[in-house]
Amino acid sequence: MLRNPLSIRRRIVFFLLGPFILLCLIQAFVLYCISLTIATDAFDEGLKDTARVIQARIKYVNRKLDLDLHQDAQEVLRGQVGQRQEYSVWTQGGQFLLGNPHLKPPSSSKHVEEDDDDASLFFNDTLPQPDLQHPDQNKQERVRVVMLPTSIQSNPSVPQLNVLVSEDIQQREDAYQSIVWAIVIPELVMLFLGILLIWVAVRFGLQPLEILQALVVEKHPGDLEEISLTSVPKEVFSFTLAINGLLGRLREAYSSQIRFLSNAAHQLKTPIAGLQTYLDILSQDKGLVAEQQALLSQMQISLKRTNRLVNQLLSLARYEPSSPALILLKEPLDLSALVQTVAIELLSQSEEAKKRDIQFEGLEESHWIDGNQASLQELLINLIDNAIRYSPEDGSILVSILNTDNTVVLRVDDSGEGIPLVEQSQIWERFYRGAHAEQLIGSGLGLSIVKEIAEFHQAQVAIQPSVFHPENDAAFEITFLKATI
């Protein structure tokens, strides 16, 4: 069982898309890290600015620390949910002095980030905040905290202090989420456009291969001419040369085969004609007994069969698609007149034809096509002879011609058993004989000759249901192009 063929286009696209997608992911990650660092530094700097403001407003009055900050300013400092800031002031010894007592300096287990510019420290913590849905309960909110060491310049006797300012982390997370979307959406658009551009580029880049494929696929069995190398890309130039070499060897072998068939058939015609003459003379001998007459009759039948096979081999050699002999012989022909000529010849020579009811339709008017008279006579003889062979002795045969706008349809129908569907694609092969043909005289070449002559005339062959028995496919249709007279 054949596996699905490997697609070069798909492989190239996959090989390009893998690194491209990886680069997009790396770029998105790097941009996110850079943006996150910049945003975090900006938020931390703002938090430190608030700590500096509080640091500058701490006063030592009447032997007591106080925050010289208006109440309205403190309310603004606390802000809305998601933007709330809290502050506290502690001694370096751990004594709470001002602000929110829940906002404490970091313990030794906390991860602390040091600022290189000054002695400030940053860390993450949680603070209890009122729960709006349950006023009697508190909830823990995650906060970002900066701790700024300070001292009271106006009173050196006051111990060193730590100013802590916290900010709800929700605002940062919203900003981080916006950064993510600001990076992801352009990256997705760029990824989509990149995939589209890669696909289009690969498609256009492989067009020469598709043209080469079309040139090979369009070749019919008799067309063994070399492929033109003018538009072949460099990458497949050697491959095309190899194909041309193969076509050259096939052309030589094909020509040798045709020459052999033609020579063999010609060499056989002379002894067959001599034997036929001897048999004709022998048949006139009145002294032959009945048994000798029967043997003589059987010899004549066998000799006719051999003679027909030789003539068909000559026809195959003559009507091959690559044969140039027929090109100069095409001319406008009246198909109706040709059918009548062939029918009269068959009826006068074939005893089997006289045993069938042969009918004709559409011959009362002319049907002109461009063709070769000798080859079309051969085609008609083979078609009608085939109908005679495969119809019963008291059967019927209908030869009809139908005109359409641009075509002329020749149809030969018989009342035989027809051709099974499984054999319809094989009957055009040389020497093929179907299951119903084993008991009949023949070589299996007649329909092959019909098909080659039809292809030479750019005609289409088809098998259709019989008009006598519609359940049987026993009609042959040949569709010719009308002649331009």
Query: What residue spans define the domains of the chain?
Result: 14-181, 234-318, 327-481
Among 308, 312, 254, residue whose Cα is nearest residue 450: 312
Gap between the Cα atoms of 423 and 72, Å rounded: 100
One-letter identity of residue 14: F
Tell me, yes or no, if the pTM score tops 0.75: no
Gap between the Cα atoms of 265 and 268, Å rounded: 5
* Antiparallel, parallel or unpaired: β 96-99 and 58-61: unpaired
One-letter identity of residue 200: V
pLDDT at 318: 63
- Mean pLDDT per block of 10 residues along the chain (485 residues) reads 65 85 89 88 88 80 66 56 74 84 86 82 86 71 89 68 88 86 88 88 80 76 73 77 84 72 67 76 76 78 71 64 54 89 81 82 88 85 85 87 88 86 77 63 74 85 87 87 81
One-letter identity of residue 103: L
Between the CA of residue 130 and those of 135, 140, 170, 447, what are the distances in Å? Answer: 6, 9, 16, 97
pLDDT at 4: 60
pLDDT at 264: 67
Domains 14-181 and 327-481 share a fold: no
- Start-to-end CA span in the chain (Å): 52
Indicate the SS3 state at residue 387: helix
Among 398, 381, 376, 384, residue whose Cα is nearest residue 459: 376
Distant-in-sequence, close-in-space partners of 241: CB < 8 Å, separation ≥ 6: 229
Gap between the Cα atoms of 49 and 53, Å rounded: 6
* Antiparallel, parallel or unpaired: β 368-371 and 331-334: antiparallel
> For the packed helices 373-389 and 446-456, what is the interaxial angle rounded to 10 degrees?
150
Sequential DSSP letters for 25-51: HHHHHHHHHHHHHHHHHHHHHHHHHHH
**Fold category of 14-181 in CATH:** Beta-Lactamase (3.30.450)
pLDDT at 345: 83
Q: Let me know if domain 327-481 sits in CATH 2.60.120.260.
A: no
pLDDT at 314: 66
**Fold category of 234-318 in CATH:** Helix Hairpins (1.10.287)
pLDDT at 326: 44
Gap between the Cα atoms of 87 and 77, Å rounded: 9
Between the CA of residue 145 and those of 87, 98, 99, what are the distances in Å? Answer: 9, 16, 14
